[in-house]
Structure 1
Amino acid sequence: MEEKHDSFQEVDPDHSEDESSPVTGLETALEECWVALHLFLNNRFADALAALRPRKSRSMYHAVGYSSILLMQAAMTFDPKDMDVAMEALRESLHICQRFRRKTGIMASLASLWNGQTVDMTEEEMHAELCYAEVLMQKAVLTFLDDSVVSFIKGGMGMRNSFQIYKNCQAVENSRTSAEKQKSTHVHFQGGVNMGIGSFNLILSLLPSNVLRLMEFLGFSGDRELGLSELREGATSDSLRSILSTLTLLMFHLYITVTLGTGDVNLTEAEALLKPFAENFPNGALVLFYTARIAVLKGAFTFAQEKFLECIATQKEWRQIHHLCYWELMWAYSFEQNWMEAYRYANLLCKENKWSQATYVFQKAAILSMLPEEEVTKLGENVATLFRQVDGLRIRLAGKSIPTEKFAAKKAQRFSSLNPGKLIVPALEMMYVWNGFKVVGKRPELTENILSTLEKAEERLRKDPSPSEFHLDDLCVVQLLKGLCLTQLGHLVQAELCLRYVISSDKNIKHDTYLVPYAMYELGLLYRQKGDVQTAITVIENAKLNYRDYSMESRLHFRIHAALNTMGSFEAKLPPSRTPA
């Protein structure tokens, strides 16, 4: 389906600029942005932009709101035209914010702070600093999407400058008197500080220790508890930015901890955060989407499917939200091994969304691989042809390959070889890449069904009369996934045997070298589950220290960092040698 690039083109309505005092003007701007935010949360995206557009060249808050919506659109479409429009809006926002910033320079104000003196900044100047930091961070994020090392450096510098200004704003906030904090506009400044300081600390805390040391050298710092605390305070405030703090926390709980963490999700907090928005905006697409996502992580896949379909039906302006739902529906049906329905949504993503065509095509081919050949023929699809397309569809972000695309392309290379062979259970393997076994583990009967599928695949491999060069790799894929299922079902002795089979095959695996360090990581989690924390730490540290240059290495390092963090292991002594557990 064709993407629309003119969906947000509105005509400027008549609007007279506020002629009152700066503070009153600030109050009016915040009130008007509240109205635009409510329009946005009620799926009236074009109306929200129309409400902001007349004053976006004169009011910092209108400019920030306008460019933020365009940035969100660009991030979801990944279309160069949308990205150019968003970048231009962000540049204009920076220019508008700069006009309202303190002309004598923030450093003079900081010198006063360090000397214990009150900073002489007007309320409007404080908000200008905050808005400038926010737009600078957004512009850096968009810059990262460009395919060049220069853009990556520019984005990093923008992030650093944004972080420093947020810290300056926090210092200003701490210097305010009680009387100054009673101003009606101050809650919005405080909420913005909560959001900025909280987001930076939370994101930085996720980084592996070697990366974090470099970031700290560059002036960044990350404290997870501080980040969560600041974001919680911002989310529960009456600030204009409370929704941003809420969405950041929901993203952390419902996605980041699943994909880059151990998968232990705080669903109680996620539901509590979403509740007020569900009460005020029950038909809001974002509310319905996150309601469905929470249901997925609870294992309530049927209810989740209904909510995602409701989310799709509730609005047609932003089809990109439909695409997010397609992705989730594809997985919800995959967890049930309803491969025909999963294929339906993978196919829609291939046709409509531009974010990661290599991933979508691989996923589509992987799902088709789980169906009988006659069913694939009826659909008019050719699995081998789809796999061969994957490598040519890869993209780069900030000059780097996307790890999941690189992984998919490497797996698909088998179909380009002189002696191609089928991938054994590619859809289940990709389920593991996205940490889906933690999710499906909430439903023992579905986990049993997947285990049965794996045992059948194992039987086929063991009876293969002419095993290919990929035979052992395929066996190890099956053993790893069996180990995960058995762990979820509580059969820890059998699970350990499966994982140790993979680890013992270290020297003989030819292609899927990622399997051994990942199996060691999973074995470490198994030991943690058994209560043997010290052995768990030793095994996981072995996986971190002794393996290099395998697929999705950075993703495993994120997961290792999260796992060791939960076990308080950063003071633990590192094992000296390569000794698989």
Structure 2
Amino acid sequence: MADRTGYTATTLSDVAFDDVQLSLAGINLMLNNGFREAESIFLKYKNYSPLMSGGYSFVCFLNAIMSFEEDKMEFAMVALKETEKMCTVKKAEKSLRVKIFGNNSNTKKTLLPITLEDRLQRLVIYADCQLYMSMIIFSRFEISGFMKGGWLIRKAFKLYERIYNEIAAVYKDRFGQDITHPNQTKLPESETVPVDDDANSNDGTENLENLDFSDITEESLGRLKGAVSFGFGLLQLCISMMPPNVLKLVNMFGFHGDKEFGLTCLEEASRSTDMKAPLAMLSLLWYHTVVRPFFGIDGSNTEHCIREAKEILEVNEVKYSQSALVMFYRGRVQKLECNLEESLKTYNEAYDLAVEQREIQLICLYEIGWCSIIKLNWEEGLLAFARLKEDSRWSKCYYAYLTGVCQGALGQLETAQEMFKEVPKLSKRKNNQLEAFVIRKSNKFKKKLPTKPAAILMVIEIVYLWRALPSCSQETLDTMIETLDNATLTLEEQALCRMLKGALHQQMGSKEAAMQNYEDAMAYAVQGCEDPYVAPYCSFELGMLLTEKPSTASRGKALILRAKENYKDFDFENRLNVRVHAALQQLEGID
């Protein structure tokens, strides 16, 4: 039963429920398209227990992070701070004392200790709040918030680490299982993480050492392990993928990342009875269907991520057969398999199911647009991106750019030019690489009409940059190469054209032709190129191809290092740095 230290005195004896089961049921209801019903359940019981408060604030957070609407972000921050306050251990002990003894002055100094299980649960939820608040801060792309967001993540990371290590020690004692993080760093005894605004409180993680876990059942211990594994694993995974320049800053904050350990944590969390088990499952699907192919973590091979994602989907088929969000990831798998017709069918079905979840409808519409342009279906792509430009509050200038290139590819050149002129006016984010890119590309057409070949070149460019070429059919790849071969382009556009031809030949398995085009692109880039990212990207792509043969692996690695060290301040530099970082880890044995 729930610990009722969050109840008001009048409701203490009136309500009895299992908050563990109810919170998990609420999250499952949300995933099965019952967003409003789930929100209603969590809202009703949010003051009754930390778990229900945590569930409510998570629903608010998810609503905010998917919509990017400022009022929803502010509302989520308020909800998270309320949960944070409820989960402060000292306040919980004081609350329990007042409920039993009242405000009698003779008992004011008496704090009734809450159970160890509840203490750990509160600390995990407290850490979750720090993580979610940092994500909201980072999503605003404000430089002033980076330090605050970094500090919140640091608090979350250290709390997760200490709680996980304590539970790992108990698992080793009871069951002989060693689940300790293999590369963990032990904090100095003097370093603690505050979990209360009161500097004189003893609510920090210094109280997590030498605790008596004997009263915690195996079932509760497993749930707590799953609860802490979600946030700890997610952070480990995200930090492990950061490029070296960002990683140095992250290490200054005192945390580290391990991809395999992070994935293990998320898998453990997904099998638990904690309310975050479904969220861990979604995080794994996100990693396998979005992150791995987008950053090219497995190179051009998508078989592994497809297999991993399919296994997760099969295990959860019965439980989430009609879930729009799970269906979205099923569509991602079908897209990775180049089965675009089935993918479009799945996205449209998910769109229809997400009646109460506008944000899920928008991400489905985005994928419908992408599947359309991958098929060179400019009309359907135009319809999807034009609607996103009007309905989505996330990067309207990006959607305007995609609308413009589809119009140009259709030959609607005057309309496309007007759309490109609108792109800079719609930008609201400073220092954002995506918006800087589409603004720079759109500004070419302030005073001149785009041409149809130039518009198609821009479409193929963004398909390449978004690493969507593996989803293209052989027929589509042939059409793209034929279009580029016949296009009349300026000298400044030649470097980009050759790079894209190289990527197309590489996707088709013509590696010699691909390498020749990458070399030609780098030569054109020296003569003059309006896209400064072409040279470093070609250096990386050519280097990766050369590393496939032992005889040229050394030269290939040198080109990859050149892409990292010889070029700065180009479009999507961080994306390339992530790929370089992953590649160099795999090439550690090559001189």
Give 2:285's aligned residue. Answer: 250
Correspondent of 2:431 among 382, 395, 401: 401
Correspondent of 2:443 among 413, 424, 441: 413
Question: What is the distance in 2 between the residues matched to 1:237 and 1:568?
Answer: 36
Give 1:429's aligned residue. Answer: 461
> Which aligned pairs between 1:303-318 and structure 2 lie closer than 5 A?
303-318=342-357
Give 1:472's aligned residue. Answer: 491
Question: What is the distance in 1 between the residues matched to 2:300 and 2:117?
Answer: 42
Q: Deviations over 1:94-134 (max 9, x none)?
A: 11111577879xxxxxxxxxxxxxxx961100100101001
- Quote how far apart the aligned CAs of 1:279 are: 1.5
Give 1:523's aligned residue. Answer: 542
Identity %: 26
Tell which deviates more after alignment, 128-137 or 526-535. Answer: 526-535
Q: Deviations over 1:544-563 (max 9, x none)?
A: 11111211111111121122
Question: What is the distance in 1 between the residues matched to 2:428 and 2:553?
Answer: 40
Kindly indicate whether residue 51 of structure 2 is the aligned counterpart of residue 52 of structure 1: no
> Which aligned pairs between 1:134-533 and structure 2 lie closer than 5 A?
134-176=128-170, 178=174, 182-261=217-296, 262=299, 264-265=301-302, 266-371=305-410, 373=411, 376=412, 382-396=415-429, 400-416=430-446, 418=447, 422=451, 423-424=454-455, 425-440=457-472, 443-457=473-487, 460-461=488-489, 471-530=490-549, 532-533=552-553
Report the RMSD for the aligned CA atoms in angstroms. Answer: 2.4
Q: Judge conservation of contact 1:57–1:92 (CA < 8 Å) in 2.
A: no
Distance 1:504 1:59, change over 3 A: same
- Quote how far apart the aligned CAs of 1:420 are: 5.9
Question: What is the distance in 2 between the residues matched to 1:142 and 1:294?
Answer: 28
Q: Deviations over 1:286-323 (max 9, x none)?
A: 11111111100111000000000000111311111111
Kindly indicate whether residue 583 of structure 2 is the aligned counterpart of residue 548 of structure 1: no
Task: Give the TM-score, by structure 2 length.
Answer: 0.82
Q: Deviations over 1:431-476 (max 9, x none)?
A: 1121111332xx323222222222222xx23xxxxxxxxx222112
Question: What is the distance in 1 between the residues matched to 2:167 and 2:469?
Answer: 44
Letter of the 1:184 counterpart = E
> How many corresponding residue pairs?
516
* Residue ranges of structure 2 left out of the alignment (5+ in a row): 1-8, 95-113, 175-213
Q: Deviations over 1:173-197 (max 9, x none)?
A: 1243635563433322110221122
Q: Deviations over 1:225-256 (max 9, x none)?
A: 11112212222333322212212221111111
Question: What is the distance in 1 between the residues matched to 2:142 and 2:340?
Answer: 40
Question: What is the distance in 1 between the residues matched to 2:300 and 2:44?
Answer: 45
Question: What is the distance in 2 between the residues matched to 1:67 and 1:59?
Answer: 12
Letter of the 2:520 counterpart = Y
Q: Judge conservation of contact 1:540–1:560 (CA < 8 Å) in 2.
A: yes
Question: What is the distance in 2 between the residues matched to 1:84 and 1:268?
Answer: 39
Please give the secondary structure, in 1, of the residue aligned with 2:525.
Answer: coil
Give 1:31's aligned residue. Answer: 21
* Residue ranges of structure 1 left out of the alignment (5+ in a row): 1-14, 105-119, 462-470, 574-581
Q: Judge conservation of contact 1:257–1:264 (CA < 8 Å) in 2.
A: no
- Quote how far apart the aligned CAs of 1:93 are: 1.0
Please give the secondary structure, in 2, of the residue aligned with 1:507.
Answer: helix
- Quote how far apart the aligned CAs of 1:368 are: 1.6
Letter of the 2:526 counterpart = K
Letter of the 1:221 counterpart = H
Question: What is the distance in 2 between the residues matched to 1:268 and 1:332?
Answer: 21
Give 2:102's aligned residue. Answer: none
Give 1:77's aligned residue. Answer: 67
Q: Judge conservation of contact 2:130–2:156 (CA < 8 Å) in 1.
A: yes
Question: What is the distance in 2 between the residues matched to 1:102 and 1:186?
Answer: 21
- Quote how far apart the aligned CAs of 1:478 are: 1.4
Question: What is the distance in 2 between the residues matched to 1:293 and 1:18?
Answer: 47
Q: Judge conservation of contact 1:395–1:402 (CA < 8 Å) in 2.
A: no
Correspondent of 2:83 among 86, 93, 97: 93
Question: What is the distance in 2 between the residues matched to 1:332 and 1:88?
Answer: 38
Letter of the 1:511 counterpart = E
Distance 1:148 1:297, change over 3 A: same
Question: What is the distance in 2 between the residues matched to 1:269 and 1:181?
Answer: 34
Q: Judge conservation of contact 2:61–2:73 (CA < 8 Å) in 1.
A: yes
Q: Deviations over 1:244-287 (max 9, x none)?
A: 22122211111112222345441111111122322212111111
Q: Judge conservation of contact 1:76–1:355 (CA < 8 Å) in 2.
A: no
Question: What is the distance in 2 between the residues matched to 1:523 and 1:102?
Answer: 59
Q: Judge conservation of contact 2:494–2:524 (CA < 8 Å) in 1.
A: no
Task: Give the TM-score, by structure 1 length.
Answer: 0.84
Tell which deviates more after alignment, 199-208 or 34-43. Answer: 34-43
